Amino acid sequence: MRVAIPIAMREALQRRLPSGIEVSWFDDTESAFRAAADSEVLWIGFPGSGRREDIERVLEAGPHLRWLTTPAAGVDGMPLDAIARRGLTLTNGAGLHAVPIAEFVVMAMLAAAKDFPEFVRAQDRSEWLNQPPSLGELQGSRALVVGLGGIGQAIAERLRAFGVEVTGVRRSSAEGSLGPDQWRPRLPDFDWVIMAAPLTGGTTHVIGESELRAMKRTAWLVNIARGALVDQSVLVRALREGWIGGAYLDATDPEPLPSESPLWTMPNVIISPHSSAASTRLTERMAELFLDNLDRFLSERPLRNTVDLRAGY
């Protein structure tokens, strides 16, 4: 059986692939098309193989494809309808990024509670502050995590260790969590609203004017998922006019965030360039998941992280 894999994964996978597997390694768009031509399995999601239009062309170029896999957790940028029409299986990287993203969230929330960016600005000015810019703590605060998948659960676990009372939002309500129709009335209760949900037709701009106005004036919005979960033009107003305390944005709409965006210069905004998933350990995690799923694929067992193409996650 032939599989098509990005050359960036060769060192991690080459000596660990089972016997009988032939690999077509690719490193750009054109070589991805050639690699897919006679492959049954295609790894997508690296530069040159992850854009929607490229994936659609790959589907046309790969008549023998049966399984597509991506290390990304979100699949909102993929042609799910086309994948479904071909009857292909798609798996994603749910859980691979949970640890580094959760650590970034804790870091950003601590920075917000302590107003740590002001210490950095003061250092840039060579200024010794006479008193701390903030006396906030995470202990005793309350957080709402919208989306309790692998990433949301990892965030919740770490925040509880800091004494944060965490409530999650799931597709269906369960003990200790809220359902999709239950969380909005509870927004005034929380000091932190953390977006960890997938982007679908039903979650686009799920945080808009009514939600931002309902939040505490001191609350922070944290978005490490997709920028389009939040109506960004309304968020700018909310931050300027003091509807909420601030925002940590690892995801913006669009990306990259344009240099003229007012978000860059707002003192109550912390921005990272969609980098919270970055980790030196990510390649090994991706390799382990792929090898396990490849073994399952060869033995015709259910794959891990199979995407529901209709639901979009």
For residue 44, the SS3 value is coil
Q: Which pair of tokens denotes residue 113?
A: 């509670």
Nearest residue to 76 (alpha-carbon basis) of 229, 195, 252, 257: 229
What is the residue type of 215?
A: M
Give the separation between CA 159 and CA 289, rounded to whole angstroms: 26
What is the residue type of 292?
A: D
- Read out DSSP for 114-154? HTHHHHHHHHHTT---SS-S----STT-EEEEE--SHHHHH
**Do residues 122 and 132 lie in contact, with contact meaning Cβ atoms separated by under 8 Å?**
no
**Do residues 228 and 257 lie in contact, with contact meaning Cβ atoms separated by under 8 Å?**
no
Check if 274 is active-site. Answer: yes
All residues at 6 or more sequence positions from 255 whose CB lies less than 8 Å from its CB, including other chains? 227, 273, 274
Active-site entry in 255, 281, 284, 301: 255
For residue 58, the SS3 value is helix
**Do residues 105 and 222 lie in contact, with contact meaning Cβ atoms separated by under 8 Å?**
yes
Q: Kindly compute the dihedral angle of the four CA atoms of residues 10, 14, 19, 20, in this order, to the nearest 10 degrees.
A: 30
Active-site entry in 2, 142, 274, 304: 274
What is the residue type of 306?
A: T
Check if 97 is active-site. Answer: no
Residues marked active site are found at 226, 255, 274
